[in-house]
Each structure stands twice: as structure tokens, then as C-alpha cells.
């Protein structure tokens, strides 16, 4: 029996546009499990990013309920939501948003110190994570403008994981990277997921989606279907075929 | 009249405010010295100069007495100027005490104009604050009055107009001659009543037409049956193929006339299908307002509606609720229970009255066209409400279930969730 990490009940999000309500997410009932690598796919405007932001507490739903563990987060005040995000969630975006005036290491440490005051412990964890994503010590001391896009995104992952979040949210993490660096970032995700890190990723890219063990397909703000691929194994041709068939069925 | 009260009181408060300002502007602030009292002080100090330490002042004015060397000989209280320098800074009045033609010392009369001004300012501030507060209260009362007299009746009329637009002419508009819309309200309700009467007359005319069509179809069918029978006989007895062919042709045409007559009768009953239903996504919280709007006699406690997005036509759904509540009002007039249940991608609104329900034999036919229950007595109605409601709900991919509950008739409105079907 898989342990439920995040659960939504009739999650809906509406935006007012020109006096009419646009329902971007409609009645989404979803359970995300601990240790899973969930990928959210769908056409542009299907509500993928809106769902990711609602799940992660970056945005509040218009209707419905979101439960994280035993805590209902859908009714929290913005301040309490910010504390929740800081403690439980990590974020990786398409744009990396590292502070230009700080070294890569300081970028990571400043996020860590927001939650944990044990500086030695934070530095130790940062070094472990940098080692895991293959960023050498001299690169850690460089400024963001001095490193490549792939390195910056991997530093972004380190920053997202510095507080040991229970769930890592990624919105098109390889969208701005070239093929090779994108692959390195995906390998990083796979590695952390194998170590038990729960990940929810929004992507348009099939190569990225293949890394997930569960694919959700969104259409018109609703989960149209889902496909269970099992844990990623390198060179698994069947996996690609299964995903292709699923996406074709969904009208991808 | 009430508008005049507001304007009068507002103008009155304004005039009072201006008057206060004028009074304060021209009022003397007490910044002047009583010269008689001052002379009296000088005189009595002079008289008591030799025994000044035993001297007791009786004027009530604050002052200090000093000798030529600046030593304070007498003072009426603390905090007064005690040297010429201090007196000059404080703008006090300084007077000489002459003894035997020689200046023996000085009396410094304390200048209390600063305190006077402070007191005056405080008075002006208090009065202005009170006046502004009174104006604020007047405005607040008027805003509340406007809310009751214009805004609420306006929203009531808006909801009324929506019902009329939706074709629901049963629910009257509450009349209140005390608000600005009183006269309009009455006219609107008269319009509703007239429309309802016209609609009833039209329905009656339509029913008569239908009866005529039914009667004519029956009347036409009888001679057509005779023609068919005669042509069958003719075909059987025909001497040659050509004649038989003609008889069979007559029989075939008689069959065609029969079919057309049947179609004509059915077509009159299919007019209902012209009612359009256009469902879209709506938030479940809108249901509460709709149910409260339908239950205009407030017989029911509307429960909390679970949050979700529904797929429904608001106008038609409102008509369905209106129909269910008005049926209950018309036929049983008891309190009503409303319960909500979410299951299998649908939201169920269960509405039950306390009228004991209908017989089990009648139940299956309640949603049929032109069918009315055994309890209708002489209550006005066409027997189409539940039929149309059922049609609306099916068009929304939902449903309408009618049954007997524990206490009375139980009507369940099944509304699909967006994406739930």
C-alpha cells in the first residue's frame, strides 16, 4: 500500500476574465504517493502549471481541498502557506532565478538558512548535494553568470533540495536547456527519485516524461487519463512505446 | 419625505458647524489683563511691603514680587517668572513698587494667554469633531437607508426579471410600498400576473387546438378505414389486373393518410423539444443562491453545498428548482428538507416535503406528459412541470428522480460534475 503524500478533492481553479469565469482546473481528485515521480502532461492551456502551483501552495484553489499528509493546506493564509512551502516543498523552474550577486554556494546556503540555523549542517548537506549533481568545488564558488545553463539548473536542483523537502516540484526544468545538459538534469532527477525523493514535474517533452513512473494527462482542466510506467530503467524500449500509445490515445 | 429629513439634518449639521466656527473666530480669547485688579495688587503689595512675608493675596491672579536685587519676596504659586529676564521672555507684565518715591521692587503679573489659547483650541477641536461625527452618522444612516430602499429592492427585482425571462411566472414579487420601487414593484407584479393569465389562456387555446387535432384525426381515421376496407374488397373482387392495381393504389394511399394523421397528432406533443438547454461549467456555490431563490417562502434550511464545478444550464436548473418548490407549496404546503450528496461524479440535491407522498401506483407516471397526481383537487396546473424538469435534467446529462421518502414526496435532482460523466 503506497503512502499518500498529497491529496486533492474536487480541486478547482477559476480566473475572472472580462466579467466571465474561466474554469482552468475542474474537480480534480488526485493522490500523489511518497517516493513517486509523477509527470503532468497536456496541451498548452490544459492547466498543467496551474495544477502544479495549486499543489505546491504557490497558488490557492478557488474550490476544493488539498491535504498534505494530515494538514489541509487549501485554507491556509498566505503567510502560513509560505512557511509550508519553505518546509515541505522544493521548486525547480524553467528559468533558474539564481541570485546574480551571490556565489552558487551562497545561493544554496541562503535558502538553507531560511529554515535551518545549523550552518555547519547546511554546508555539509550542500556539499553532498553538489557532489551528487557533479558540480565541483571551484564551480560552487563561481557567480551564476560564470557557469553554464546546465550547471545553473543543477545548482537550482541543489537549492531546491537543500531543506530536504518531502516533495520536489519542477515546471519544465529542461525547457531552456540544450539536449546534452537537459539529459544531465534528467539524470539528476532520476538519481534523487531512486533515493526516495518524491517529484512532481510538468513537461511538454516526451524524453523528460519517460523518467516518471506515473504520467497524468490533463485536458481542459481535468485529468483525462493516467499511465503507470513503473520505475525508470535506462534503455527500456517498451517504456517509450507504452508512453507513446498512451499519449496517442489522449490525443497528444 | 425621508430624503428631506436627510437633507435637512445634513444642512442643519453643516450650518451648526459653520456657526461654531464663526463664534470661535470672533470670540475673545481672554488674552487681556484686568487693569483694576493689577492696580489693586500693586497697591496692596505696596501697603504690605514691610511685612511682605506675612502678606496673603486675595485677587486670585498669579504673580511674583521681587526686590531690586532680584530676590523673590513673595509668589502666589510655583512655575511663575522669578526674574525680570524670565518675565520678558514669558511676556509677563512688570510693574514697579514705589515706596516713598523710590522704586523698592517689582511685581511680575503672570501672562496666562498660552493656556487660554490651548483651552480654546481644545474646545474648537472637540466641537468640530462632534459636528463631523454627527455628519458621519447622518451619512451612515442614509447609506443604510439607501441600501434598504434602493439596492436590495433592485436586486430583488433583478432576480424577479430573470425568473420572468426564464418563463417562471408563478413566483410573485414581494411588494413594499415603502421603498422607491414600490409603485414599480406593483406594476411588475401586475405584469407578471397578466403574463401568467395570457400564458394560461394560450395554453388553453393550444390544448383546444390539440383536442381539435386529436378529434379530427379520429374523425379522419374512420372514413379512411372505410376507404381502406372497401378498396381491399374491391381489389379482391376485381375482374382484371388493371382494376386490382387501382384498388391497391387506393389502399396504399389510405395507409399513407393514416400515417400522416398520426404524425400530425404526435407533432403537436413534440413542441416541448424546442426548449433549448445550454449547460456550461458553474461553481457549486451558486446552487445555494438558486435554492434560496426558489424557496421564497423559506420552508427549507439550505445545507452547505460541497465545493466543486458543475456542468449545468443555470437558467434551466433554476426552473427545475422553482418547479419542485412551487409544486410542494401548491400541493402540500409543509416544511421542506433539502439534503446534498456527492457520489460518482454527480451532485445530488434531495428535496423532500412532509406531505406523505403519492401512491405507489402513481409514482411511475408522475414525470409523464399531462399527468397530474391524485392530490391535485382543483389546483391550477398543466401536468407538464416534472416532465419538462426531467427533460431539462436529461439534456444536462443529469436526471430527476421522483420517489416517496420517509415523510413525503422526495425529488432528487442529479447534476453532473464538470468532467464527471
| Cα–Cα–Cα angle for B50, B54, B56, rounded to 5 degrees | 110
Ranking B85-99, B195-209, B375-389 by mean pLDDT, the lowest is: B375-389
Averaged pLDDT for residues B181-188: 73
Domain that holds residue B302: 280-416
B11 lies in some domain: yes
Beta bridge partners of B210: none
CB contact under 8 A, B307 and A14: no
The reply to whether B314 and B344 lie within a common domain is yes
Rounded to the nearest angstrom, the minimum Cα separation between A132 and chain B is 43
Its pTM stands at 0.57
Angle between helices A149-161 and A179-194 (to 10 degrees): 20
Confirm or reject contact between A10 and chain B (CB < 8 A): yes
B214/B351 same-domain check: no
Residue of chain A whose alpha carbon sits nearest to that of B420: A27
Give the closest-approach CA distance of A133 to chain B in angstroms: 41
* pLDDT score of A217: 95
> What residues of B are in contact with residue A222 (Cβ under 8 Å)?
418-419
Mark which of B168, B188, B214 sits at the end of a domain.
B168
Q: Which residues contact B39 (CB under 8 A, 6 or more apart)?
A: none
Subunit contact A10:B417, Cβ cutoff 8 A: yes
Rounded CA-CA distance B355/B192 in Å is: 29
Rg of chain B, C-alpha, whole Å: 48
Say if B61 falls within a structural domain: yes
Does B174 reside within a domain? Answer: no
- Do B126 and B213 have their domain in common? no
Give the total residue count for chain B.
Answer: 421
> Does B176 fall in a domain?
no
Residue B357, domain CATH: 3.30.565.10
* Secondary structure (DSSP) of B348-406: EEEEEESS----TTTGGGTTSTT---TT-TT----S-HHHHHHHHHHHTT-EEEEEE-S
Which of B305, B307, B346 should we substitute to test contact with A (largest number of A Cβ atoms within 10 Å)?
B307
Per-residue pLDDT band for A93 (boundaries 50, 70, 90) equals confident
Please tell me which residue of chain B has the smallest CA distance to A224.
B419
Local confidence band at A219 (pLDDT 50, 70, 90 cut-offs):
very high
Helix (H) / strand (E) containing B261: helix B241-269
One domain, residues B300 and B373: yes
Q: Do both B245 and B389 map to the same domain?
A: no
* Number of neighbours of residue B345 by Cβ within 10 angstroms: 15
Domain match, B107 and B64 both = yes
For residue B183, being part of any structural domain is answered with no
CB contact, 8 Å: B54 with chain A? no
Listing DSSP states for chain A in one string gives -PPEEEEEEEEEEEEEETTEEEEEEEEEEEEEETT-EEEEEESTTSSHHHHHHHHTTSS--SEEEEEETTEE-TT--HHHHHHHHHHHEEEE-SS----TTS-HHHHHHHHHHHH---HHHHHHHHHHHHHHTT--HHHHTS-GGGS-HHHHHHHHHHHHHTT--SEEEEESTTTTS-HHHHHHHHHHHHHHHHTT-EEEEE-S-HHHHTT-SEEEEEETTEEEEEEE--S--TT-HHHHHHHHHHHHHTT-
Residue B257 C-alpha cell reads as 393518410
User: Using the beta-carbon criterion (under 8 Å), do A23 and B418 form an inter-chain contact?
Assistant: yes
Residue of B nearest to A13 (CA): B309
The pLDDT assigned to B198 comes to 87
pLDDT tens-digit readout, B190-224 = 888 888 888 888 877 776 676 667 666 656 766 78
Instruction: Tell me the ipTM for this assembly.
Output: 0.73
B285 plus B378 within the same structural domain: yes
Q: Is residue B192 assigned to a domain?
A: no
Does the beta-carbon distance from B308 to A62 stay under 8 Å? Answer: no
Binary contact (A27, B417; C-beta < 8 A): yes
User: Which residues, 6+ apart, have CB-to-CB distance to A250 below 8 Å?
Assistant: A217, A219, A224, A225
Query: Would you call B284 and A221 a contact, using CB atoms and an 8 Å cutoff?
Result: no
B129 in any annotated domain: yes
Size of interface A-B (CB pairs under 8 A): 44
8 Å CB contact of B309 and A26: yes
CB contact under 8 A, A62 and B306: no
Q: Are residues B101 and B219 in the same domain?
A: no
Nearest CA in chain B to A10: B308
The rounded percent of chain A whose pLDDT value lies above 90 is 50
* Total of domains in chain B: 4
Domain A4-249 superfamily per CATH:
P-loop containing nucleotide triphosphate hydrolases (3.40.50.300)
CA atoms within 13 A on the CB side of B373: 23
Give the tens place of pLDDT for each residue, A108-150.
999 898 888 888 999 999 998 998 888 999 999 999 999 988 8
Q: Indicate if B270 and B400 belong to the same structural domain.
A: no
CA dihedral angle for residue B344, residue B348, residue B350, residue B351, rounded to 10 degrees? -160
B405 touches chain A (CB under 8 A): no
* B321 and B370 part of one domain: yes
Name the grid cell of B74: 513673595
DSSP B148: I
Q: Give percent of chain B above pLDDT 70.
A: 85
Ramachandran sector of residue B79 (left: φ over 0; alpha: ψ -120 to 50; beta: rest): left
* Inside any domain, residue B188: no
Q: Which of B246, B274, B302 is the last residue of a domain?
A: B274
Cα nearest neighbour of B283 on chain A: A63
Domain boundary among the residues B151, B168, B185 is at B168
Amino acid at each position: 500500500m503506497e503512502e499518500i503524500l498529497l491529496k486533492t478533492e474536487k480541486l478547482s481553479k477559476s480566473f475572472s476574465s472580462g466579467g466571465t469565469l474561466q474554469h482552468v482546473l475542474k474537480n480534480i481528485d488526485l493522490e500523489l504517493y511518497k517516493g513517486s515521480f509523477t509527470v503532468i502532461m497536456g496541451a498548452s492551456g490544459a492547466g498543467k502549471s496551474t495544477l502544479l502551483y495549486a499543489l505546491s501552495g504557490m497558488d490557492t484553489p478557488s474550490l476544493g481541498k488539498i491535504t498534505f499528509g494530515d494538514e489541509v493546506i487549501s485554507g491556509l493564509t498566505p503567510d502560513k502557506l509560505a512557511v509550508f512551502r519553505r518546509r515541505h516543498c522544493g521548486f525547480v523552474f524553467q528559468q533558474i532565478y539564481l541570485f546574480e550577486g551571490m556565489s552558487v554556494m551562497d545561493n544554496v546556503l541562503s535558502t538553507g538558512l531560511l529554515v535551518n540555523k545549523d550552518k555547519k549542517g547546511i554546508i555539509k548537506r550542500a556539499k553532498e548535494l553538489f557532489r551528487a549533481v557533479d558540480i565541483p568545488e571551484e564551480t560552487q564558488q563561481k557567480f551564476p553568470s560564470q557557469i553554464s545553463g546546465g550547471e545553473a539548473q543543477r545548482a537550482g536542483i541543489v537549492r531546491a533540495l537543500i531543506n530536504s523537502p518531502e516533495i520536489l516540484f519542477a515546471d519544465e526544468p529542461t525547457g531552456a536547456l540544450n539536449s546534452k545538459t537537459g539529459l544531465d538534469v534528467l539524470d539528476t532527477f532520476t538519481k534523487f527519485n531512486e533515493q526516495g525523493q518524491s517529484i512532481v514535474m510538468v513537461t511538454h517533452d516526451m524524453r523528460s516524461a519517460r523518467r516518471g513512473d506515473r504520467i497524468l494527462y490533463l485536458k481542459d482542466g481535468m485529468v483525462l487519463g493516467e499511465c503507470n510506467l513503473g520505475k525508470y530503467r535506462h534503455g527500456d524500449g517498451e517504456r517509450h512505446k507504452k508512453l507513446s500509445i498512451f499519449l496517442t490515445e489522449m490525443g497528444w | 419625505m425621508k430624503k428631506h429629513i436627510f437633507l435637512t439634518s445634513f444642512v442643519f449639521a453643516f450650518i451648526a458647524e459653520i456657526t461654531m466656527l464663526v463664534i470661535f473666530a470672533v470670540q475673545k480669547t481672554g488674552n487681556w489683563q484686568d487693569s483694576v485688579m493689577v492696580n489693586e495688587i500693586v497697591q496692596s503689595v505696596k501697603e504690605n511691603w514691610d511685612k511682605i512675608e506675612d502678606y496673603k493675596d486675595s485677587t486670585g491672579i498669579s504673580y511674583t514680587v521681587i526686590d531690586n536685587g532680584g530676590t523673590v519676596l513673595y509668589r502666589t504659586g510655583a512655575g511663575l517668572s522669578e526674574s525680570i529676564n524670565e518675565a520678558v521672555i514669558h511676556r509677563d507684565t512688570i510693574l514697579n513698587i514705589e515706596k516713598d518715591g523710590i522704586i523698592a521692587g517689582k511685581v511680575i503679573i503672570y501672562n496666562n494667554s498660552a493656556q487660554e489659547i490651548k483651552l480654546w483650541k481644545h474646545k474648537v477641536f472637540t466641537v468640530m469633531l462632534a459636528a463631523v461625527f454627527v455628519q458621519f452618522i447622518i451619512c451612515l444612516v442614509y447609506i443604510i437607508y439607501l441600501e434598504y430602499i434602493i439596492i436590495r429592492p433592485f436586486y430583488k427585482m433583478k432576480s424577479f426579471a430573470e425568473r420572468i425571462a426564464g418563463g417562471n411566472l408563478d413566483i410573485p414579487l414581494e411588494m413594499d410600498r415603502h421603498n422607491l420601487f414600490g409603485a414599480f414593484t406593483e406594476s411588475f407584479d401586475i405584469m407578471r400576473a397578466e403574463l401568467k393569465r395570457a400564458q394560461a389562456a394560450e395554453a388553453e387555446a393550444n390544448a383546444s387546438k390539440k383536442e381539435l387535432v386529436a378529434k379530427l384525426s379520429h374523425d379522419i381515421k374512420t372514413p379512411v378505414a372505410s376507404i381502406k376496407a372497401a378498396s381491399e374488397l374491391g381489389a379482391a373482387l376485381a375482374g382484371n389486373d388493371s382494376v386490382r392495381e387501382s384498388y391497391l393504389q387506393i389502399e396504399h394511399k389510405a395507409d399513407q393518410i393514416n400515417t400522416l394523421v398520426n404524425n400530425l397528432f404526435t407533432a403537436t406533443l413534440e413542441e416541448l423539444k424546442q426548449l433549448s438547454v445550454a449547460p456550461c461549467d458553474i461553481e457549486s456555490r451558486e446552487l445555494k443562491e438558486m435554492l434560496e431563490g426558489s424557496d421564497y417562502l423559506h420552508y427549507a434550511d439550505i445545507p452547505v453545498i460541497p465545493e466543486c464545478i458543475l456542468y449545468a444550464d443555470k437558467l434551466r436548473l433554476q426552473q427545475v428548482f422553482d418547479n419542485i418548490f412551487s409544486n410542494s407549496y401548491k400541493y402540500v404546503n409543509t416544511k421542506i428538507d433539502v439534503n446534498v450528496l456527492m457520489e460518482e461524479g454527480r451532485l445530488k440535491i434531495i428535496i423532500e416535503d412532509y406531505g406523505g407522498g403519492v401512491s405507489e401506483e402513481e409514482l411511475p407516471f408522475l414525470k409523464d406528459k399531462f399527468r397530474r397526481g391524485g392530490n391535485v383537487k382543483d389546483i391550477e396546473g398543466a401536468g407538464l412541470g416534472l416532465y419538462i424538469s426531467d427533460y431539462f435534467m436529461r439534456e444536462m446529462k443529469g436526471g430527476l428522480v421522483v420517489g416517496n421518502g420517509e415523510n413525503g414526496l422526495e425529488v432528487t435532482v442529479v447534476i453532473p460534475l464538470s468532467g464527471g460523466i
